Homo-oligomer: A and B are copies of this chain.
Amino acid sequence: MKILGIEHLAIAVKNIDKSSPFWSHILKLQHRVTETVESEGVITDIYDTGQGKVELLESLGKDSPINSFLENRGPGIHHVCFEVDDINAAIKELRDNDIAILSEDAKVGAEGYKIVFIHPKSTGGVLVELAEKP
């Protein structure tokens, strides 16, 4: 597979309105969009950094994986996403190497990216997302 760079860093927060001032007013990152991603059970507040994005993730409900993360570990970095040139080629390569992925096929994530998540047990403790630009 061909990694094109860090696409975004996702941060689990309890409340976007309370958490966003650090990113928008102190670091002065440029707000790009706020989007609800029903399939992932999150509202995400996306910022451009100049090189990669920062995404604040707030849980949409009790069943959201962000909710479990917050209960287990508290707010903090949730995952890192790398952009790939071809998500289906990447998924095939991961399967061929016995890397554990969290869905059978690519799903559609925020901003229409085609995405897949790699289980932390295959990466050394890091939840890694791969994403192909729409």
Q: List the interface of chain A (C-beta within 8 A of B).
A: 1-7, 9, 11-13, 18-19, 22, 26-29, 49-52, 54, 73-77, 80, 82-83, 93-94, 97, 99, 120, 122-126, 128
Contacts and interface: CB of A to CB of B under 8 A. Distances in A.
A9 B9 contact: yes
Contacts of A75: 124-126
Given A1-B27, A11-B124, A26-B97, A80 B82 contact: no
A26 B130 CA distance: 12
A76 B80 CA distance: 11
A10 to B, nearest CB: 10
A9 B6 contact: yes
Contacts of A124: 11, 13, 18-19, 22, 75-76
Nearest to A76: B125
B123 A51 contact: no
A19 B123 CA distance: 8
